[in-house]
Amino acid sequence: MNKKNVESPANKADADTISLSLSSKNYRYTKEDIDNFFTSDNGQKEEHTLEESICRPLIGKQSFKPFFLYCKMCPKVEFLYLESMEDHIRLKDPERHKIKLLEFLDNEEKEGKKVTKSND
C-alpha cells in the first residue's frame, strides 16, 4: 500500500524543456515532410501556427511577455516570430536540428506502440 506515492503529475508539463517529449498527439508530419522542409528554399509554405509547425518539437515558448520563442537545442537562440525560429532551425546547423526532429518522430512511434500494449 503506497498510496502516498500517487501524486498528481499535473505540474510536470513545462518543467523539462530539454527532452522533446511534448504530448504532440497532433504532430502529423512524416520523415518525408521533415526532409522536404530542410531541402526547401523557404521552409513551411502554408500558413501555420506554432502548434502546427513542423519544427514544433524543437521550439519552446517563454511563459512570460513578450513570449519569445526559443530553440530547445540552442537555448540562447530566441526569436519573437515563428518564421525566424524556423529559419534558424532550417539554416543554422540543419543537420543537427534535423536529426533531433527525426529522433523525436522515432520516439513518438515507439511511445504509441507502448500505449496500445498496456491496455490489458
Chain residues that interact with Zn ion, rule: CB under 5 A? 71, 73-74
Asked whether 67 and 61 are in contact (CB, 8 A), the reply is yes
By beta-carbon proximity to Zn ion, the closer residue of 34 and 71 is 71
Asked whether 97 and 73 are in contact (CB, 8 A), the reply is yes
Burial class (CB in 10 A: 0-12, 13-18, 19+), 85: buried
At its nearest, how many Å lie between Zn ion and the CB of residue 4? 41
At its nearest, how many Å lie between Zn ion and the CB of residue 71? 3
By beta-carbon proximity to Zn ion, the closer residue of 50 and 74 is 74
